[in-house]
Chain A
């Protein structure tokens, strides 16, 4: 591609873009034409890309290269996809430098360039590096140039060469072969997982044995849980400890979580990968979009950020009803589809829901310490703020009461999260073995067929559940929930069969199905 003087004037650079957490290749073509100096970007670029003109120009100049005083046309292919963000700065700059012969096309062809430029030529960090690298790797690309600040994020993907650069000049010299830049050293997930830092631990929660037990079951079986209790009972504290007893994320799970956090710009760049299970607790004034994801660019919402972790909704009835009802589909499917004018994006949203609420508007119904002032109608109304379909997706309801002063003061040693976690891990292993051929990996997400196969009862169990239904006014929807929870309890005990005592315990966790008020 030579012009009439035999000078190369066209270059083609590879970069990557993102739709949701899936990447796609973007070709950045730069053509320098004779004519009045100008800079045109075509290919559905947004304002951030159009503004790159000034950043690229200054960066090239300040790194000591000549900015061509010609008409520059930049085409971003595929032209039909809308491109957003500043991560194309680096590829445009390299494109211009290649088209103006500072670099040779053959030296830059194999790389994918990602990064934003600052006026002095520094390459700045961008969001979404990890998902882009992963999908580029799947598409067979192996060489990447990324900002140095994103190096940690890229370190967990093996079999690719990632060059992390600090500034444009360093990059140009590297591409020319003048200096050597070592590829980013891969790190193994097993090494970093040990640095998990948690401030919460069940050892610090005094008393509350029944709530702890219920949370252990929830963690073991992936069940959603609702805690009902007066203010100050410690519901929030219990919820915060919950992630500490969940099994460690596998590498694949961690990558998925990191992808979402990277896209949302919430990734800790020092760590580079999310190793703690996410714990998200959006405030009750949160909007539908903030919870499920959306906005102009269909960003992930809180439920996707809680993927593979915990979504904690404190004071559940205080949430806008419309907002919490949107959880119904993701709770069932584990994904959320966010459809916007320009994008339709599918984000994973496989989280454990922990909700807490007061038993009545004043908060003290059934409390031993303070007298409740609410009328039965008010209590009924308060409880019915949570719809049946949503309640249907919550397997365990437990009541938590405030602990006494003596209990706070007691020196009694509570079990630590690590010990509980060991039992949870064992139960999870049983489930992984059980569901190894299916898509599902927890008792809570059992399909109808699995349910029939693995939740069989003996005669004593059937008799028990029948009497319980009649005596305790259980609603019909409780049936499968009880058996799934009983399955998890049996797993925790390492029992193959579901025994009557497992069912009995599971029924204890259905407070709201029983008549709550009299």
Chain B
């Protein structure tokens, strides 16, 4: 991939940990970006930079100003299959560029074209209730099927469900990470991240080797909101990280959709609180979101092709609104364990019912 001088400047500056976002901004302001910073650094830059860089940091920049250093970095990214989309690139998402603090470089892994699709962010608690699980699933499925790219943060809980549901519905998804690609967090989502990197898109504003730190997660949320046309919060606790995403969404003027929950439910406290302030954000059905985004949903007839026998439809109806234990289903249907096991599995394979921890079942 060919980079312009400006882009190379950014890539080079991003190689240093001490070059924080604000320092980069100051540097570009003080010095401009159109010249080759590396070449001209020793001679005329020093005075202008001393305001915000220490002598040590300047020395470091000086010592790494050779071509070899930059080429090594580029080779490394190529080797790791990481594509760099800088703010000057045409591939850089326009919506994100308009925001207050757009990242200078997006490190991408996967299908970079997804950056230019219509995106919606789905975020929420890391520990969803069964209700949150169902809601997230149904929204992610409907929105992904309608052609929207589902953006989320690869965290446990709602994020994971959103990604997985988008993938299984045949839609597209983008995961925005806080730390670099070498440090997938949480580690339990490593397999999911591999899947997303191969068929979808992983995005991060940090170099692959950067360790995720807790301060990076709220900052990361601005990319989530910035990439997307709208932000959907399916379930959030009172001081959930997804509230950061909500704030960014409001700042950036994105549409915000919030799913209400029970007022007694801890997991929905955050959502309900937002709704108290911003009543217009309420969404009760995925079609609300689609309508507001002017997307006509194509009727999906595939689902109706399933042939359900009496017991299957009986079980699905019984587990519709509330999760039911295995024992309860057994008592309700009067089936023997061997028959019930076979039926439940075939329903699971068809994606009609979900097995929850503790041997509970909930129909989708």
Asked if residues B330 and A209 are in contact (CB atoms below 8 Å), the reply is yes
For chain A residues 359-379, which have a beta carbon within 8 Å of chain B? Answer: 359, 365-368, 375-377
For chain A residues 385-405, which have a beta carbon within 8 Å of chain B? Answer: 398-401, 403
> Which one of A377, A403, A505 has the greatest number of beta carbons of chain B within 10 Å?
A505
- Report if A376-B156 is in contact (Cβ < 8 Å); known contacts: A210-B326, A401-B327: yes
> Which one of B160, B323, B327, B351 has the greatest number of beta carbons of chain A within 10 Å?
B327
| Residues 483-518 of chain A, each 1 if its beta carbon lies under 8 Å from chain B, else 0 | 000000100010000001100110110010010111
Asked if residues B349 and A489 are in contact (CB atoms below 8 Å), the reply is no
Interface size on A, residues (CB 8 A): 42
| Residues 182-216 of chain B, each 1 if its beta carbon lies under 8 Å from chain A, else 0 | 00001010010000000000000000000000000
Please indicate the chain B residues that have their CB under 8 angstroms from the CB of A380 in the complex: 186, 188
Asked if residues A376 and B157 are in contact (CB atoms below 8 Å), the reply is yes
Contacting chain B: which of A143-151, A154-162, A465-473? A465-473
Asked if B243 lies at the interface with its beta carbon under 8 angstroms from chain A, I say: no
Q: B330, B340, B349: which contacts A472 (Cβ < 8 A)?
A: B349
Closest chain B residue, CB of each to CB of A208: B327
Asked if residues B188 and A376 are in contact (CB atoms below 8 Å), the reply is yes
Roughly how many angstroms separate A472 CA and B168 CA in the complex, as a whole number?
11
Roughly how many angstroms separate A155 CA and B325 CA in the complex, as a whole number?
52
Asked if residues A471 and B327 are in contact (CB atoms below 8 Å), the reply is no
Closest chain B residue, CB of each to CB of A216: B337
Asked if residues B349 and A467 are in contact (CB atoms below 8 Å), the reply is yes
Roughly how many angstroms separate A425 CA and B323 CA in the complex, as a whole number?
37
Please indicate the chain A residues that have their CB under 8 angstroms from the CB of B325 in the complex: 368, 401
Asked if residues B355 and A514 are in contact (CB atoms below 8 Å), the reply is yes
Asked if residues B349 and A229 are in contact (CB atoms below 8 Å), the reply is no
Roughly how many angstroms separate A301 CA and B269 CA in the complex, as a whole number?
54
Asked if residues B342 and A471 are in contact (CB atoms below 8 Å), the reply is no
Asked if A334 lies at the interface with its beta carbon under 8 angstroms from chain B, I say: no
Please indicate the chain B residues that have their CB under 8 angstroms from the CB of A359 in the complex: 357-358
A486 to chain B, nearest CB (A): 11
Asked if B142 lies at the interface with its beta carbon under 8 angstroms from chain A, I say: no
Asked if B4 lies at the interface with its beta carbon under 8 angstroms from chain A, I say: no
Asked if A407 lies at the interface with its beta carbon under 8 angstroms from chain B, I say: yes
For chain B residues 305-364, which have a beta carbon within 8 Å of chain A? Answer: 323, 325-327, 330, 337-342, 344-346, 348-349, 351, 355-360
Asked if residues B345 and A468 are in contact (CB atoms below 8 Å), the reply is yes
A457 to chain B, nearest CB (A): 15
B349 to chain A, nearest CB (A): 5
Asked if B23 lies at the interface with its beta carbon under 8 angstroms from chain A, I say: no
Asked if B108 lies at the interface with its beta carbon under 8 angstroms from chain A, I say: no
Interface size of B as a range: 20 to 34
Asked if residues A229 and B358 are in contact (CB atoms below 8 Å), the reply is yes
Roughly how many angstroms separate A213 CA and B191 CA in the complex, as a whole number?
33
Asked if B76 lies at the interface with its beta carbon under 8 angstroms from chain A, I say: no
A209 to chain B, nearest CB (A): 5
Asked if A207 lies at the interface with its beta carbon under 8 angstroms from chain B, I say: yes
Asked if residues A209 and B327 are in contact (CB atoms below 8 Å), the reply is yes
Please indicate the chain B residues that have their CB under 8 angstroms from the CB of A377 in the complex: 186
Asked if B133 lies at the interface with its beta carbon under 8 angstroms from chain A, I say: yes
Please indicate the chain A residues that have their CB under 8 angstroms from the CB of B127 in the complex: 375-376
Closest chain A residue, CB of each to CB of B350: A471
Asked if residues A407 and B157 are in contact (CB atoms below 8 Å), the reply is no
- Report if A508-B356 is in contact (Cβ < 8 Å); known contacts: A368-B325, A407-B327: no
Q: B161, B338, B355: which contacts A213 (Cβ < 8 A)?
A: B338
Asked if residues B326 and A518 are in contact (CB atoms below 8 Å), the reply is no
Please indicate the chain A residues that have their CB under 8 angstroms from the CB of B188 in the complex: 376, 380, 517
- Report if A508-B157 is in contact (Cβ < 8 Å); known contacts: A400-B359, A407-B327: no
B211 to chain A, nearest CB (A): 16
B293 to chain A, nearest CB (A): 27
Q: A210, A212, A468: which contacts B359 (Cβ < 8 A)?
A: A210
Q: B128, B338, B355, B357: which contacts A489 (Cβ < 8 A)?
A: B338
Asked if residues B359 and A399 are in contact (CB atoms below 8 Å), the reply is yes
Please indicate the chain A residues that have their CB under 8 angstroms from the CB of B327 in the complex: 207-210, 401, 403, 407
Asked if residues A518 and B186 are in contact (CB atoms below 8 Å), the reply is no
Please indicate the chain B residues that have their CB under 8 angstroms from the CB of A514 in the complex: 355
> Which one of A367, A400, A508 has the greatest number of beta carbons of chain B within 10 Å?
A508
| Residues 43-77 of chain A, each 1 if its beta carbon lies under 8 Å from chain B, else 0 | 00000000000000000000000000000000000
Please indicate the chain A residues that have their CB under 8 angstroms from the CB of B326 in the complex: 209-210, 401
Roughly how many angstroms separate A501 CA and B337 CA in the complex, as a whole number?
12
Roughly how many angstroms separate A517 CA and B126 CA in the complex, as a whole number?
11
Asked if residues A401 and B359 are in contact (CB atoms below 8 Å), the reply is yes
Roughly how many angstroms separate A468 CA and B351 CA in the complex, as a whole number?
11
Q: B323, B355, B357: which contacts A365 (Cβ < 8 A)?
A: B357
Please indicate the chain A residues that have their CB under 8 angstroms from the CB of B344 in the complex: 508
Please indicate the chain A residues that have their CB under 8 angstroms from the CB of B126 in the complex: 375-376
| Residues 217-242 of chain A, each 1 if its beta carbon lies under 8 Å from chain B, else 0 | 00000000000011000000000000
Please indicate the chain A residues that have their CB under 8 angstroms from the CB of B359 in the complex: 210, 366, 398-401, 511
Please indicate the chain B residues that have their CB under 8 angstroms from the CB of A507 in the complex: 345
Roughly how many angstroms separate A407 CA and B345 CA in the complex, as a whole number?
25
Asked if residues A517 and B357 are in contact (CB atoms below 8 Å), the reply is yes
- Report if A213-B156 is in contact (Cβ < 8 Å); known contacts: A399-B359, A467-B349, A508-B344: no
Please indicate the chain B residues that have their CB under 8 angstroms from the CB of A501 in the complex: 338-339, 342
For chain B residues 103-122, which have a beta carbon within 8 Å of chain A? Answer: none
Roughly how many angstroms separate A208 CA and B359 CA in the complex, as a whole number?
11
| Residues 454-490 of chain A, each 1 if its beta carbon lies under 8 Å from chain B, else 0 | 0000000000100110011100000000000000010
Q: B186, B342, B358: which contacts A399 (Cβ < 8 A)?
A: B358
Please indicate the chain A residues that have their CB under 8 angstroms from the CB of B157 in the complex: 376, 518
> Which one of B126, B133, B341, B351 has the greatest number of beta carbons of chain A within 10 Å?
B341
A381 to chain B, nearest CB (A): 10
For chain A residues 314-367, which have a beta carbon within 8 Å of chain B? Answer: 359, 365-367
B179 to chain A, nearest CB (A): 15
Asked if residues A366 and B186 are in contact (CB atoms below 8 Å), the reply is no
Closest chain B residue, CB of each to CB of A472: B348
A448 to chain B, nearest CB (A): 27
Asked if residues B156 and A518 are in contact (CB atoms below 8 Å), the reply is yes
Please indicate the chain A residues that have their CB under 8 angstroms from the CB of B339 in the complex: 501
B312 to chain A, nearest CB (A): 13
A407 to chain B, nearest CB (A): 7
Please indicate the chain A residues that have their CB under 8 angstroms from the CB of B356 in the complex: 366
Closest chain A residue, CB of each to CB of B126: A376
Roughly how many angstroms separate A54 CA and B111 CA in the complex, as a whole number?
89
- Report if A505-B357 is in contact (Cβ < 8 Å); known contacts: A210-B337, A376-B157, A401-B327: no
Asked if residues A366 and B360 are in contact (CB atoms below 8 Å), the reply is yes
Asked if residues A504 and B341 are in contact (CB atoms below 8 Å), the reply is yes
Roughly how many angstroms separate A315 CA and B162 CA in the complex, as a whole number?
34
**What are 19 A-B interface contacts by the 8 Å CB criterion?**
A210-B337, A359-B357, A368-B358, A375-B126, A376-B127, A376-B186, A398-B359, A399-B357, A401-B326, A407-B327, A464-B349, A467-B349, A471-B349, A472-B349, A493-B338, A500-B342, A504-B345, A518-B157, A518-B160
Measuring CB to CB, which residues of chain A are less than 8 angstroms from any residue of chain B?
Answer: 207-210, 212-213, 229-230, 359, 365-368, 375-377, 380, 398-401, 403, 407, 464, 467-468, 471-473, 489, 493, 500-501, 504-505, 507-508, 511, 514, 516-518
Sample of 5 more A-B contacts, CB < 8 Å, known A209-B326, A213-B341, A401-B325:
A210-B326, A210-B337, A359-B357, A500-B342, A508-B344
**What are the 7 A-B residue pairs with the smallest beta carbon separation, nearest first?**
A366-B358, A366-B357, A213-B337, A399-B359, A505-B341, A501-B342, A504-B345
